[in-house]
Structure formats: C-alpha cells, structure tokens
Amino acid sequence: MPLPSGTSLDEKSLTERGLAAPERKTGRILLIACGALAREILDITAANSLDHLDLTCLPAKLHLYPDQIVAHVEAAVKKHRATYDRIYVVYADCGTGGLLQQKCAELGVEMVPGPHCYAFFEGNAKFQDRADDGEITAFYLTDFLVKQFDAFIWRPMGLDKNPELRDMIFGNYTTLVYQSQVADPHLVEKARACATRMGLRFEHRHTGYGDLEPTLTKWGGA
C-alpha cells in the first residue's frame, strides 16, 4: 500500500500505520496452544521457571471443530514468526487426521506428539497400551472439560433440549474416565455427576500433566 505524498518514513509513522516490522523478542519462545490447555501450561511454566516462554491461545471451542484447527494454527505461526526466535505448537493431532502434523512440518515448527490431549495427559505410551488392551469404550474428560462440561459436551450435542438422545449418542461407551491434572475433590465429584448424566460407569485417574510437562521443559531448555 503506497504512502500518501509527503509522509515521513520514520519508525513512529510506520508503526502508527501498522507497516513497521514487528519488534523482535530475542531469547523468547512462543507457545501457540489450544485454549483448553492454558491453565496447565501456565502451571507447568511457573513450576519449572520457564519465564522465557510466552503463551498465546487459540479458541478452546476449536475442540468442537477440528477441521478448523490447521488454518488457525497456520495463521498464528505466520503472524508471530517474525517476532520470536522459536515457536512451538501445543496441540496434538486433535482430530485433524494428520493434517496438522503436515502443516507444522511445512511451517518448520514442532508440535506435541500424540493423537490428542487425552493421550499425552495419560502418557502416550501408556495410553496406547490401554488401547491395545481393549480400552475402546471409554469417554474421556480432563479438568477443563469437567469444568466446561455443559458448554463443550452437553449443549453442543443437543442434550439440553433433547435428553432422549443420550443413549443414542453414548450407547457405545461404557465408562467415563476422568483424567485429573490437579488434585481437586470437587472436580472429582463433578466428573462423577457427569458420568451419571451420561449413563456411564465412572473411573478417576490422576494423570497430572503426563507427557506435556517434559515436552514443555525440553522446548524451554532447547
């Protein structure tokens, strides 16, 4: 876009017009993350003194629309890559069918390994072992999803208006597995109530942060 005749090209004018190069954040690393992981990422970075890691989150509701994740991640990487020394993507595959991994490789950024957050919270290897042992009828909740159960599960599936759909939607599941990241008895009871609403047996596993913590600490120390 050409500048009007007589316009100064000093840094102040360029900045006001949105044309100045972004200021580099030398020595800092950006995490582009799913909004559903924000609390856990902040806890991990604080506990490990990873003060040089900055966090920007994409809307947690992309959890409901995995076909939109790749485009949002790509836009975020392109927006911030001129500013940061390194960028990492705090998503697993998350229902993108390998397309997010493909895009991250194309963009030259690393992402969290695993099929989804339930796997890396459990520990990807342990989660795969459970799958190999036949755990295919479990419905998983994390701390975030327990807190946001109505907003992210019950209402989007139409169960607030059509509760008779419950058995049709969840009929192939047998168990609700709550993977807790923090020890909170109130959340355990809320998760148990969610299982009752869904007509499923309840199981609680305290996973902590699983593979997410060593992944972030590796990136922060790389």
Let me know whether 21 and 104 are in one domain: yes
User: Greater confidence, 164 or 16?
Assistant: 164
The answer to whether residue 111 is domain-embedded is yes
How far apart, in whole angstroms, are the C-alpha atoms of residue 61 and residue 157?
13
Q: Strand, helix or coil at 147? A: helix
Instruction: Give the model confidence (pLDDT) of 86-119 as tens digits.
Output: 999 999 999 999 999 999 999 999 999 999 999 9
Average pLDDT over residues 132-139: 92
Let me know whether 107 and 137 are in one domain: no
Establish if 66 belongs to a structural domain.
yes
**Burial environment of residue 91 by CB neighbours within 10 A (0 to 12, 13 to 18, 19 or more):** buried
Are 93 and 110 in the same domain? yes
Three-state DSSP state, 41? helix
* Mean pLDDT score, 129-133: 91
Confirm if 175 and 165 have CB atoms less than 8 A apart: no
Tens of pLDDT, residues 61-81: 998 999 999 999 999 999 999
Report the pLDDT value the prediction gives residue 14, as an integer from 0 to 100.
45
- pLDDT in the model for residue 134: 85
Regarding whether 142 and 61 lie in a shared domain, the answer is no
Give 150's contacts (C-beta < 8 A, 6+ positions apart). 160
Domain check: are 110 and 215 in the same one? yes
Same domain, 104 and 134: no
Distance CA 7, CA 99 (A): 44
Average pLDDT over the chain reads: 92
Whether residues 111 and 217 share a domain: the answer is: yes
**Nearest to residue 90, comparing CAs of 68, 64, 120, 49?**
120
Residue at 2 is within a domain: no
* Residue of 83, 105, 80, 101 lying closest to 92 (CA atoms): 101
Best CA proximity match to 186, nearest among 125, 143, 123, 216: 143
Instruction: Evaluate whether residue 5 is within a structural domain.
Output: no
Is the same domain home to 174 and 217? no
Domain that holds residue 186: 124-206
Establish if 48 belongs to a structural domain.
yes
- Do 107 and 215 lie in a common domain? yes
* Domains identified in the chain, total number: 2
Q: Are 117 and 152 in contact (CB under 8 A)?
A: no
Segment 189-214, tens digit of pLDDT? 999 999 999 999 999 999 999 999 99
58/31 same-domain check = yes
Q: Where are the beta strands (DSSP E) in 35-162?
A: 53-58, 84-90, 110-111, 138-141
pTM: 0.87
Report yes or no on 52 lying in a domain.
Answer: yes
What is the per-residue pLDDT across 165-185, written as a single tens digit (0 to 9) for each? 999 999 999 999 999 999 999
**63: CATH:** 3.40.50
Question: Cα separation of 77 and 81, whole Å?
Answer: 6
In a domain, 8, yes or no: no
Q: How many CB atoms lie within 10 A of CB 195?
A: 20
Phi/psi at 46 (5° precision): -70, -45
Do 167 and 199 sit in the same domain of this protein? yes
Q: Using H for helix, E for strand and C for coil, what is the string for 164-192? A: HHHHHHHCCCCEEEEEECCCCHHHHHHHH
Same domain as 138, residue 93:
no
Q: Does residue 75 lie within any of the structural domains?
A: yes
